[in-house]
């Protein structure tokens, strides 16, 4: 490859182009100004989105990465610009989202002097990054950028932070870029063990009541078809984690629903009745397991996992199968017998019937006058023909949306799982729309989370991004209020929330909108929202004190899942 003499700042942009980056989210400032000056010459080659806050930038990069499968890229200046990224970096780390976060830094002679807008970005971000590095010399830029992309996207993905001093940005180098394909001592994908596969196949072939737990590893490994092939041959019922949602179509015959605290009745209770539990690309999060001392004690456990650190970390397993599931699933499918479990599957269907009568019927088709979050999701499904990307914020609406929104394709669910970051929804939806411009993107938020990053409506206005924003407004911090009702004797301590006029707010950003308070107006409003490609804000005023069920109380076993508020007996 021929070389050319350019500045370090130009080398940053050239490196991004060599990695096929087409979109950057960021906010300029003093210590990153040379990079922004270089970016001026690449207008039209690279699309830069000016966010209204650095947290918005990183959440947009997350949304972009989650739907596109590519690393999201964001840029911030030093000091507060960099620290404003930390929440999103932590979110991306725990949810395995590939990101390249570039931060400016004071000139290298000033490091450690408490210079203006200096912070120890490497030290602060170390616990929540897959890798980070501070560049102090211009000649380091191409190699470090190449390593950053390789590390962020290989194996179990994650965020990488590159902190670049201002003098390194101003310096000059003969630029030559070579993509990184290997780093000594870094093994992103462990070698597959044939004996472990054979042991796993033996357990599967002998099982009478097996269940599969599908995690995001299937999506990250692009192993959706391999999963369906395995399930079809094995005949095993499969449930999904919050981040595993959309790995298999909602209507896939063996799909038995969602696991976890607000998951479906069947997969939660049957976890403690199965004789074999097969975890595929999931990490046994506490919201899935409940009380680990009472989790699947009767079952043999097989764990398909790319990250050896996750094996036996929370739940002790009988057979670990390490490797990328795109490779290991076809290998196990060859070894297993073709089977079906009609009686076992009927037990799940009976659980579905119970849950429908106790919960789902009232959520989707309520008889009470107040609107429910579930019926909004039902209408979104119907009016969009189950086609679209759903991006949620965090709270009650998140659980309802994930329970009831239907999926036909993968990478169509974007939510903050492990960290549960309020304010994630709106900016992540903007990033998702830019990552999948051909798809309808729904941003579903509660009134609380929406107000944490509502300033990013300015990005929608400036960039003309056609996100469909749905605000489910119950005038409460709903999930906290539900816990206060159930576990703190309805002492609603600082969860009642007064909100602005969201439709006037949308209008101030030149975004169309409508507020719905009546069931008679809901369907028409949804149709109006979907009728053109422009952005739209739909505020739906829902029941103030509606709860999300089923629910596994904190510290309880998954077998103790409840379908309604516990009856409280009042002494006479």
Quickly list DSSP for 161-187. EEEEEHHHHHSEEEE--------TT--
Closest to 429 in 3D by CA, of 450, 408, 403, 402: 450
Instruction: Tell me whether residue 482 is one of the annotated catalytic residues.
Output: no
Look at strands 172-175 and 4-7 and give their pairing. antiparallel
Instruction: Tell me whether residue 169 is one of the annotated catalytic residues.
Output: no
Distance from C-alpha of 317 to C-alpha of 70, rounded to nearest angstrom: 32
Given 10, 14, 25, 54, the catalytic residue: 54
Instruction: Tell me whether residue 116 is one of the annotated catalytic residues.
Output: yes
| Count of CA atoms in the C-beta half-sphere (13 A) of 543 | 19
Given 147, 166, 270, 468, the catalytic residue: 166
Distance from C-alpha of 268 to C-alpha of 270, rounded to nearest angstrom: 6
Element (H, E) at 457: helix 457-463
Given 4, 116, 178, 387, the catalytic residue: 116
Given 390, 422, 452, 479, the catalytic residue: 479
Residues 6+ apart with CB under 8 A from 206: none
Q: Which two tokens stand for residue 567?
A: 């009856």
Instruction: Tell me whether residue 252 is one of the annotated catalytic residues.
Output: no
Residues 6+ apart with CB under 8 A from 149: 19, 71, 100, 160, 179, 180
Q: Which two tokens stand for residue 237?
A: 């019922």
Distance from C-alpha of 540 to C-alpha of 468, rounded to nearest angstrom: 13
**Cβ 358 vs Cβ 563: under 8 Å:** yes
Residues 6+ apart with CB under 8 A from 383: 523, 526, 527, 530
**Cβ 538 vs Cβ 549: under 8 Å:** no
Distance from C-alpha of 31 to C-alpha of 48, rounded to nearest angstrom: 18
Give per-residue burial for 16-45: e unless 16+ CB within 10 Å, then b.
Answer: bebbebebbbbbbbebbebbbebbeebeee
Q: Positive or negative CA dihedral for 161, 418, 50, 82? A: negative
Collapse the DSSP code of 303 into the 3-class scheme (helix H, G, I; strand E, B; otherwise coil) and give the result: strand
Given 33, 42, 117, 497, the catalytic residue: 117
Instruction: Tell me whether residue 534 is one of the annotated catalytic residues.
Output: no
Which residues does the annotation mark as catalytic? 54, 116-117, 166, 479
């Amino acid at each position: 490859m021929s070389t050319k003499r350019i500045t370090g700042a130009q080398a940053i942009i050239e490196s991004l182009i060599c990695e096929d980056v087409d979109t950057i989210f960021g906010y300029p400032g003093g210590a990153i100004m040379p990079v922004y000056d270089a970016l001026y010459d690449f207008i039209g080659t690279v699309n830069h989105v000016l966010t209204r806050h650095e947290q918005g930038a990183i959440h947009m990069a997350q949304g972009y990465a989650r739907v596109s499968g590519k690393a999201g890229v964001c840029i911030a200046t030093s000091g507060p610009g960099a620290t404003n990224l930390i929440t999103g970096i932590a979110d991306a780390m725990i949810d395995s989202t590939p990101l390249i976060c570039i931060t400016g830094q004071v000139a290298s002679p000033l490091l450690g002097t408490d210079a203006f807008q200096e912070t120890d970005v490497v030290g602060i971000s170390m616990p929540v990054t897959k890798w980070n590095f501070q560049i102090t010399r211009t000649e380091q830029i191409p190699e470090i950028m190449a390593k950053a992309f390789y590390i962020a996207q290989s194996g179990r993905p994650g965020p990488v932070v590159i902190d670049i001093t201002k003098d390194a940005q101003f310096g000059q180098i003969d630029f030559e870029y070579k993509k990184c394909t290997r780093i000594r001592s870094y093994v992103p994908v462990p070698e597959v063990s044939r004996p472990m596969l054979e042991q796993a196949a033996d357990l599967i072939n002998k099982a009478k009541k097996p269940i599969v737990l599908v995690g995001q590893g299937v999506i990250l490994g692009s192993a959706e078809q391999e999963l369906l092939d395995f399930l079809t041959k094995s005949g095993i019922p499969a449930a999904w984690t919050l981040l595993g949602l959309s790995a298999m179509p909602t209507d896939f015959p063996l799909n038995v629903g969602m696991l976890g605290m607000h998951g479906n009745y069947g997969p939660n209770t049957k976890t403690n009745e199965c004789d074999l539990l097969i975890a595929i690309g999931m990490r046994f999060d506490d919201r899935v397991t409940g009380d680990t001392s009472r989790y699947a004690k009767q079952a043999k456990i097989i764990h398909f996992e790319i990250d050896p650190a996750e094996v036996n970390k929370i739940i002790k397993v009988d057979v670990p199968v390490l490797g990328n599931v795109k490779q290991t699933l076809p290998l196990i499918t060859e070894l297993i017998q073709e089977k079906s479990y009609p009686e076992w599957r009927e037990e799940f269907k009976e659980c579905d019937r119970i849950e429908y009568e106790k919960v789902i019927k009232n959520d989707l088709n309520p008889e009470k006058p107040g609107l429910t979050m579930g019926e909004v999701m039902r209408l979104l499904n119907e009016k969009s023909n189950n086609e679209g990307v759903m991006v949620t914020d965090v709270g009650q609406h998140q659980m309802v949306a994930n329970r009831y929104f239907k999926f036909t394709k993968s990478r169509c669910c974007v939510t903050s799982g492990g960290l549960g970051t309020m304010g994630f929804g709106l900016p992540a939806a903007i990033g998702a729309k830019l990552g999948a411009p051909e798809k309808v993107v729904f941003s579903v938020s509660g009134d609380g989370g929406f107000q944490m990053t509502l300033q990013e409506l300015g990005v929608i206005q400036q960039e003309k991004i056609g996100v469909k924003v749905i605000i489910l407004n119950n005038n409460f911090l709903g999930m906290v209020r539900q816990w206060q009702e159930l576990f703190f004797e309805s002492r609603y301590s600082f969860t009642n929330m007064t909100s602005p006029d969201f439709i006037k707010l949308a209008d101030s950003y030149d975004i169309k909108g409508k507020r719905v308070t009546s069931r008679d107006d809901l369907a028409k409003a949804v149709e109006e929202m979907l009728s053109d490609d422009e952005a739209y804000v739909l505020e739906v005023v829902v029941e103030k004190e509606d709860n999300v069920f089923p629910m596994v109380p904190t510290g309880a076993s998954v077998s103790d899942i409840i379908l309604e508020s516990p009856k409280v007996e009042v002494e006479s």
